[in-house]
Amino acid sequence: DVKVTQSSRYLVKRTGEKVFLECVQDMDHENMFWYRQDPGLGLRLIYFSYDVKMKEKGDIPEGYSVSREKKERFSLILESASTNQTSMYLCASRVSGHLNTGELFFGEGSRLTVL
């Protein structure tokens, strides 16, 4: 079974703090994604990565950056956390190429509260 592990289930941070959300997958997937989930808005794509050191902006990248130094790990960084970044953050991965069925495998989520 594919396992996508997010390092922190719950975090509480203060405005202006730098926040790191870590995600690790164990299935050698090339593609990895960061979404945030907010009530009434569904899942919105923040950033995605096709491969190591490659990244592309999603629909709401403002206030976020990412890092993908190793294939299995994709980190989301909030340089200076703000209260409007309070949300549930979901990491996902999927295989690419001819094996790609479109299916995303999600982690359990990291609920971030910014005070």
**Can you give the binding site for another protein, defined by CB under 8 A?**
4, 9, 35, 40-45, 48, 58, 90, 92, 94, 100-109
Residue 83 C-beta: closest distance to another protein, Å: 22
Quick one: 62 or 102, whose CB is closer to another protein?
A: 102
Residue 37 C-beta: closest distance to another protein, Å: 8
d(CA 4, CA 110): 12
What is the side-by-side strand order in the sheet with 19-25?
Answer: 4-6, 19-25, 73-78, 65-70
d(CA 88, CA 72): 21
Name the phi and psi angles at 98, rounded to 5.
-70, -15
Quick one: 9 or 14, whose CB is closer to another protein?
A: 9
Quick one: 10 or 84, whose CB is closer to another protein?
A: 10
Residue 1 C-beta: closest distance to another protein, Å: 11
Closest CA to 61 of 49, 73, 53: 49
